[in-house]
A and B are shown apart, each in its own frame.
Chain A
Amino acid sequence: GAGVSQSPRYKVAKRGQDVALRCDPISGHVSLFWYQQALGQGPEFLTYFQNEAQLDKSGLPSDRFFAERPEGSVSTLKIQRTQQEDSAVYLCASSFEGVNGYTFGSGTRLTVV
C-alpha cells in the first residue's frame, strides 16, 4: 500500500479484556517497530521486527504484551487482560533501509475503561 495502515483507529476496551492491534506496513519493508505514546508524552519503543524475526522486545512493559509478525509483513500487537495504564496511542513504523526511511502509521488510540 501507499502507507502504513493501522487498525482499528480507536479501540475502547473494558479492563481485563484482551485486545489485538493490527499494523500493515509498506510492502517490502523489512523493519517494523511498535511504539507506545501515552497522553502528553513522546512515543516509547516497544518492540522491533526484521522480517518475521522479533529481534528486540526490550520495551514491552509486561508479559501481558505480545507481538508477532508471522509472515514478515502484517504485524499484530496483542495486549492481554488490559489495565487502565495501557491506555495510549500505539504507533507502528516500517522501514526498508533502516534509519533513512521510517514511515509511521496514524496509530491506534486504546482507551481502557
Chain B
Amino acid sequence: AQTVTQSQPEMSVQEAETVTLSCTYDTSESDYYLFWYKQPPSRQMILVIRQEAYKQQNATENRFSVNFQKAAKSFSLKISDSQLGDAAMYFCASSGGATNKLIFGTGTLLAVQP
C-alpha cells in the first residue's frame, strides 16, 4: 500500500522569504510519480509541481522546486520569494499502479506574512 506523510500541519513564512514543506512517502510501485498540489479556499486542487520517480533531476517550476531523495523516500517542496498568493493548503501526493490514483498526505497550511 502507498502512504504519504506530511509532518508539518502548519507553516509560516515572511513575504519574499523561502520556505520548505516536508513530505515522506512509501510505495511498493517501481514506477510512480510524486506531486505537490495547492488547495486555496476555493477548494480546487491546483498542480504546483510534478516529479517522475525515475528521473534523478529535481523538478523546478519558476519559484517552486523539489528536493527528491528517492532512497530516503523524501519529497520536499521549496517555495522561493514567497508571495501573499502562495498562502493555501499544500498537499503532497503519490501515484502509481494500474489506475494511477493519487494518494494524498494530510496537508500543510501555509501562511504568508506581509
Indicate whether A105 sits within 8 Å of B99 (C-beta atoms), given known contacts A42-B106, A44-B104. no
**Residue numbers in B under 8 Å from A31 (CB-CB):** 100
How many residues from A make CB contacts under 8 Å with B?
A: 25
Of residues B47, B98, B99, which shows the largest number of chain A Cβ atoms within 10 Å of its Cβ? B99
A104 contact set on B, CB distance < 8 A: 44-46
Asked whether any CB of chain B lies closer than 8 Å to the CB of A43, the reply is: yes
In whole angstroms, what is the CA distance A107 to B37 when docked? Answer: 15
A2 CB within 8 Å of chain B: no
- B-chain residues with CB within 8 Å of residue A89 when the two chains form the complex: 43
A42 to B39, CA, bound (A): 10
- How many residues of B sit at the interface, in one of the four size bands? 20 to 34
For residue B55, CB closer than 8 A to chain A, the reply is no
Instruction: Please measure, in the bound complex, the distance between the C-alpha atom of A41 and the C-alpha atom of B43, giving whole angstroms.
Output: 12
Known: A93-B45, A106-B44, A107-B44. A41 touches B100 (CB 8 A): no
Contacts of B46 in A (CB 8 A): 104
Q: Once the chains are docked, how many angstroms separate the CA of A31 from the CA of B106? A: 24
Cβ contact within 8 Å between A42 and B47: no
Known A-B contacts A42-B91, A42-B107; the reply to A102 vs B102 at CB < 8 A is: yes
Contacts known (A55-B99, A56-B99, A98-B100); A105 close to B105, Cβ less than 8 A: no
Interchain CB contact under 8 A, A33 and B45: no
Q: A55-B99, A56-B99, A99-B95 are in contact. Are A41 and B44 (CB under 8 A)?
A: no
User: Can you report 5 A-B residue pairs in the complex whose CB atoms are below 8 A from each other?
Assistant: A42-B93, A43-B45, A55-B99, A56-B98, A91-B43
